[in-house]
Structure 1
Amino acid sequence: MATPDMPYRILGSTGEKVSAIGLGGWHLSIPGVDEKLAHRIVRSAIDGGINFMDNSWDYNDGMSELRMGKALQEGYRKKVFLMTKIDGRSKKEAMRQLEQSLERLQTDCIDLVQHHEIIRYEDPNRIFDEDGAHAALLEAQKAGKLRYIGFTGHKDPRIHLYMLEVARENGCKFDAVQMPLNLMDAHFRSFSKLVVPELVQEGIGILAMKALANGSLLRSKTVTPIECLHYALHLPTSVVITGVDKMEILEQAFEAARTFKPLTDEQLQNLLAKTAKAAARGEFEPFKTSSIHDGTATNPQWLGEEPERLKALIPA
Structure 2
Amino acid sequence: MKHANENAANPHTGFKRREFMAMLAGGTGSLMVPSLSHGEEKIAADTDFLSDRLGSLLPLRKLGAPGPVVTNLGVGGDHVGSASEKDAQAIIEKALEEGVRFFDNAPFYSGGKAEERYGKFLTPKYRDVSFIMTKTLAKNGENALKDLDASLSRMKTDYVDLWQVHALENPKDVEERVQNGVLDAFLEAQKKGKVRHIGFTGHGSYKAHLKMLEDLKKRGVKMTTSQMPVNPADPHFESFVTHVVPKCVEAGIGVLAMKTLAYGLFFGGNKGWQRTDVSVTPIIPAVLSVEDVFGFVWSLPITTLISGMESVQQVSQNAAIARKTWNWNQAERQQRIDAVASFAGPDLEFYKN
TM over 0.5: yes
Q: Which runs of 5+ in 1 are unaligned?
A: 290-316
More displaced 10-residue stretch of structure 1: 214-223 or 249-258:
214-223
Matches within 5 A, 1:199-278: 199-219=248-268, 220-221=282-283, 222-278=287-343
Relative contact order, higher structure (CA 8 A, sep 6+): 2
Question: How many pairs were matched up?
Answer: 285
Are the aligned partners of 1:128 and 1:170 in contact in 2 as well (CA < 8 Å)?
Answer: no
- Answer yes or no: is 1:185 the counterpart of 2:237: no
Partner amino acid, structure 2, of 1:46: L
Inter-partner Cα distance in structure 1 for 2:194 and 2:245: 29
Contact (CA 8 Å) 2:170, 2:207: kept in 1 or not? Answer: no
Q: 1:56 to 1:74 in 2, by over 3 A?
A: closer
Question: Which residue of 160, 165, 176 maps to 1:126?
Answer: 176
The residue matched to 2:164 in structure 1 has which SS? strand
1:176 maps to: 225
Query: 1:47-84: per-residue Cα shift (whole Å, max 9, x none)?
Result: 21111111111111111111122111343011011100
1:4 shift after superposition: 5.6
2:349 alignment partner AA: E
List alignment gaps of at least 5 residues for structure 2.
Answer: 1-50, 269-281
Q: Which amino acid aligns with 2:169?
A: I
Q: Which amino acid aligns with 2:315?
A: L
**CA shift for structure 1 position 266:** 2.4
TM-score normalised by the chain length of structure 1: 0.86
Query: What is the aligned counterpart of 2:71 among 5, 19, 22?
Result: 19
Aligned partner letter, 1:73:
T
Q: Percentage identity across aligned positions?
A: 36
1:81-230 equivalent positions in 2, closer than 5 A? 81-129=131-179, 131-219=180-268, 220-221=282-283, 222-230=287-295
Q: Given the alignment of the two structures, is residue 286 of structure 1 paired with residue 350 of structure 2, yes or no?
A: yes
CA drift at 1:123:
2.1
Partners of 1:128 and 1:5 lie apart in 2 by 37
Post-superposition CA distance 1:118-152 (Å, at most 9, x none):
012222222222x4112212111111111111000
Instruction: For residue 285 of structure 1, give the secondary structure of its aligned residue in structure 2.
Output: coil
Of 52, 76, 84, 1:34 maps to 84
Q: Structure 1's 58 and 189: CA in aligned 2 closer, same or farther, altered over 3 A?
A: same
Distance 2:196 2:348 in 1: 35
Tell me the secondary structure at the aligned position of residue 162 of structure 1. Answer: helix
